[in-house]
Amino acid sequence: MEKKESLKPNKPKTEEADLKPKAGGGGGVSAKLSELYSKLFGVIKFILGVCLLPFVYSSSVAFLGQFGAVDKNLQDCLWAGVATFLIIYLFIWEPAPVYAKGHQILEFIFNFFKPLVKVAPFLLPIYTIVLLGLYGLLSLFIKDSWLIQDAMFLFGFSLILHLVFSSKSIRTKKGDFLKGNYIFGFSFIYILNLSILAFGLNCIFKGFSFVSFCNSAYSEAGNIFYAIIKQLFLR
């Protein structure tokens, strides 16, 4: 027997497709809003990062001004540590595992407070902080000059290690609109790290004043902002 054809007319597939609601419509709007907010936040971070650049310059100048009061031989020890790391990093081996281990230590320390777990490893130079504390302890028992010389070398080595790899970590993150994360993040990390080292040197050397470092950095940055505003609006 022949099968009877269905009495119901077949609707064209295109018509049936049009009757169905398009999937993901709301998700598309949400994704666009999320992207817009991300770009807006990126612009804000870019502006804040640019505003931090005068403080990057002024804190560097202030640090060098105070560091000049330290014995020249000890200054050379710190710069030798910086140079040694750069030579190893550029020509021999990238000590990324050393940085990663410090990263893990800070994650463990700040595990009790989740927001800090994400930012503390990038902000705090854990090896420099540990070395400052260790030197303070050993200096109570060891009075030989080699201790401070080696300590200064390690201060320079550890600080530049943290700055280089923190910078690399931030720079390689995707979706960094206008490089706002990089400019703001690294500028803030640099200023904070230099301040930590300055505070440590203030505790070690009588001629190095952390208060004078802060005042000089703030004053110099203020002069830069005033000069920019005067050039743009007060002419």
Mean pLDDT (10-residue bins), the chain, 235 residues:
48 48 60 77 86 96 96 97 97 94 88 81 94 96 94 97 93 71 91 97 96 97 92 77
Q: What are phi and psi of 5, to 5 degrees?
A: -70, 145
Residue 125 CB partners (closer than 8 Å, separation 6+): 158, 159, 162, 163, 193, 196, 197
Please indicate, yes or no, if residue 163 is contained in any of the structural domains.
Answer: yes
Residue 142 Cα to chain centre, angstroms: 35
Tell me which residue of 21, 192, 160, 149 sits closest to 82, measured CA to CA: 160
Please indicate, yes or no, if residue 48 is contained in any of the structural domains.
Answer: yes
3-state secondary structure of 204: helix
Please indicate, yes or no, if residue 22 is contained in any of the structural domains.
Answer: no
Please indicate, yes or no, if residue 64 is contained in any of the structural domains.
Answer: yes
Q: Residue 26: what pLDDT?
A: 54
Domain encompassing residue 76:
41-233
Q: Residue 1: what pLDDT?
A: 45
Please indicate, yes or no, if residue 35 is contained in any of the structural domains.
Answer: no
The total domain count for the chain is 1
Please state, in angstroms and rounded to a whole number, the distance separating the CA atoms of residues 235 and 227: 11
Distances (CA, A) of 128 to 1, 98, 123, 146, 158: 91, 13, 12, 18, 6
Please indicate, yes or no, if residue 16 is contained in any of the structural domains.
Answer: no
Q: Residue 2: what pLDDT?
A: 46
Q: Residue 213: what pLDDT?
A: 97
Please indicate, yes or no, if residue 6 is contained in any of the structural domains.
Answer: no
Q: Residue 41: what pLDDT?
A: 78
Q: Residue 6: what pLDDT?
A: 46
C-beta of residue 110 within 8 angstroms of C-beta of residue 120: yes
Q: Residue 57: what pLDDT?
A: 97
Q: Residue 27: what pLDDT?
A: 60
Q: Residue 230: what pLDDT?
A: 87
